[in-house]
Chains A and B, each alone.
Chain A
Amino acid sequence: MNNSSSSQKQNNRRDFLKYLLTGGLLGFASAVIYPLIAYLKPPKQREVEVSSVKVGKLSEIEKNSGRIIRFGNKPVILVRTAAGDLRAFSATCTHLDCTVQFKSDQSILWCACHNGKYDLNGRNISGPPPRPLDSFRVVIQGEEVLISKNV
Chain B
Amino acid sequence: MNIIKNLYNWIDERVKLEDLVNFLGKKYVPVHRNSVWYYFGGVSLFFFIIQVVTGILLLFYYKGSADLAFESIQFIMSKVQFGWLIRSIHSWAANLFILAAFIHMFSVYFEKSYRKPREITWVTGMLMFFLALGFGFSGYLLPWNELAFFATKVGTDIAGAVPLIGETLKIFLRGGEEVTGATLSRLFGFHVALLPGIFTALLTIHLLLVQRQGMSEPLRVEALKQSEKKTMPFFPNFLLRDLLLWLLILNVLAILAVFFPSELGRKADLFASAPAGIKPEWYFLFMFQTLKYIPAHLLIFEGEVVGILLFMVAGVLWLLVPFWDTKSSKGQQNRLINYLGLFAVIFIIVLTILGWIA
Contact = CB atoms under 8 A, between A and B. Distances in A.
Contacts of B247: 28
Contacts of B75: 43
Contacts of B83: 39
B132 to A, nearest CB: 24
Interface residues of B, number: 12
A92 to B, nearest CB: 26
A49 to B, nearest CB: 20
Interface stretch (A9-17, A30-38, A78-86, A142-150): A30-38
Interface residue tally on A, bucketed by range: 10 to 19
A40 interface: yes
B239 interface: no
A39 B76 CA distance: 9
A17 to B, nearest CB: 16
B229 to A, nearest CB: 33
B82 interface: yes
A39 B250 contact: no
B79 A39 contact: no
B86 interface: yes
Contacts of A39: 57, 80-83, 85-86
Contacts of B86: 35, 39
B79 A38 contact: no
Residue among B79, B81, B250 with max Cβ neighbours from chain A (10 Å)? B81
B74 to A, nearest CB: 12
Interface of A: 28, 32, 35-36, 38-43
Interface of B: 57, 60, 75, 79-83, 85-86, 247, 250
Given A36-B82, A39-B82, 7 more contacts: A35-B82, A38-B81, A39-B57, A39-B83, A39-B86, A43-B75, A43-B81
25 contacts: A28-B247, A32-B250, A35-B81, A35-B82, A35-B85, A35-B86, A36-B57, A36-B82, A38-B81, A38-B82, A39-B57, A39-B80, A39-B81, A39-B82, A39-B83, A39-B85, A39-B86, A40-B57, A40-B60, A41-B81, A42-B80, A43-B75, A43-B79, A43-B80, A43-B81
